Amino acid sequence: MSRPEWIYLASQSPRRRQLLAQIGLRHELLLPDAEEDAEALEASRAGEAPEDYVQRVTGAKLEAARLRWQRRGLPAAPILCADTTVVLGDQMLGKPADDAEAAQMLQRLSGRSHRVLTAVALLESPHPAFAARCVLQASTVRFAAVDTDEIVRYVASGESQGKAGAYAIQSQAAAWIEHLEGSYSGVMGLPLHETAQLLRGIGWQL
């Protein structure tokens, strides 16, 4: 049987779709069913290091996607998953629950450096004989001091919701970034260099 010319992306993030399209990779979405509690997979555990957390959650998302593929009887193709978290000091800043929490997160990030961790996992085939390949990418981002009024306007735009750390690097928040060390696409949610390396590892030509 010939290899498919596309992969499954098990992510609801439009940014990850955009990044895959940027490198010319065809993909189909493999999203949770209505009865699945996808948010529960992202729950943290007491005392868990951020690096361990983001890799564990990515692995859990990948396994959930594999089972989803199996239930639906879909054609076999590689499955790609990713998860991103923002870390300030030793504390993870996940997706804000509301605008008030988003503003609080951005006030804490103002004038400081933080890390952005993105784990990527790739399953060559959903069949049980195949093992996942995983990679962790870490970037450091330093924000300038941001006025409270700017934060209020940004949160009011709606950009904070659904974003780890309450901001998106490809949005207006880019004007706050004094320095970035690492991967721009990794901060967006899918480090393209590392993702391409994973795909080349299973024989894909990009």
pLDDT tens digit string along 57-77? 999 999 999 999 999 999 999
**Is residue 99 situated within a structural domain?**
yes
CA gap 29, 19 in Å, rounded: 14
Query: Is residue 13 within a helix (H) or strand (E), and if so which, with residue range?
Result: none
CA gap 102, 161 in Å, rounded: 7
Asked whether residue 131 carries a pLDDT value surpassing 90, the answer given is no
Residue 84: closest CA among 8, 137, 12: 137
Asked whether residue 199 carries a pLDDT value surpassing 80, the answer given is yes
| Spatial contact of 102 and 96, defined as CB atoms under 8 Å apart | yes
**Is residue 48 situated within a structural domain?**
yes
Determine the structural domain holding residue 159 and report its residue range.
7-201
Burial class (CB in 10 A: 0-12, 13-18, 19+), 31: middle
Q: What is the pLDDT of residue 167?
A: 96
Q: What is the pLDDT of residue 195?
A: 96
Q: What is the pLDDT of residue 34?
A: 83
**Amino acid, res. 80:** L
CA gap 72, 50 in Å, rounded: 33
Which of 3-12, 100-109, 176-185 has the least mean pLDDT? 3-12
CATH of the domain at 130: 3.90.950.10
**Is residue 1 situated within a structural domain?**
no
Query: Is residue 199 within a helix (H) or strand (E), and if so which, with residue range?
Result: helix 192-201
**Is residue 140 situated within a structural domain?**
yes
Split at pLDDT 50, 70, 90, the class of 1 is very low
The catalytic position among 37, 52, 83, 99 is 83
**Is residue 49 situated within a structural domain?**
yes
| Spatial contact of 116 and 187, defined as CB atoms under 8 Å apart | yes
CA gap 181, 108 in Å, rounded: 20
**Is residue 154 situated within a structural domain?**
yes
Tokens of 110: 């103002």
- The fraction of the chain above a pLDDT of 70, given in percent, is 98
Burial class (CB in 10 A: 0-12, 13-18, 19+), 104: middle
Q: What is the pLDDT of residue 82?
A: 97
Radius of gyration for the chain, computed over Cα atoms and rounded to the nearest angstrom: 17
52 is catalytic: no
- How do 27-29 and 7-9 pair as beta strands? parallel
Which of 31-45, 97-111, 188-202 has the least mean pLDDT? 31-45
**Is residue 94 situated within a structural domain?**
yes
CA gap 192, 153 in Å, rounded: 31
**Is residue 152 situated within a structural domain?**
yes
Per the structure, how many domains does the chain have?
1
| Spatial contact of 155 and 99, defined as CB atoms under 8 Å apart | yes
| Spatial contact of 16 and 9, defined as CB atoms under 8 Å apart | yes
